Amino acid sequence: MGQVLVRDLDDRVITRLKVMARRENISLEQKFRDMAVREVRLAEERFEAVAARVREQTRGANLDIDAMIREDRDR
């Protein structure tokens, strides 16, 4: 498992996060882990939503991907 050091974090933010962690009966470190995991999940969900929308928009499209790559390389 990796480690992350966060520098120059505003003291008010740290105090607020400590209060939040205490209310959840977890450590500040666990609070940061939970927040990081949640943020990654949200980013993945947003990506999946965009990918699904693009798939839906291009469903049935007659795209010649090889030709598009060749055209892009020729630029």
In this prediction, the residues of the chain whose per-residue pLDDT falls under 50 are none
pTM check: above 0.85 = no
What is the model's pLDDT at position 21? 98
What is the model's pLDDT at position 27? 97
Looking up tokens 């390389």 gives 73
What is the model's pLDDT at position 59? 84
What is the model's pLDDT at position 75? 84
What is the model's pLDDT at position 4? 93
Q: Cα(30)–Cα(60) distance, rounded to whole angstroms?
A: 46
What is the model's pLDDT at position 73? 93
Collapsing DSSP to helix, strand or coil, 36 comes out as: helix
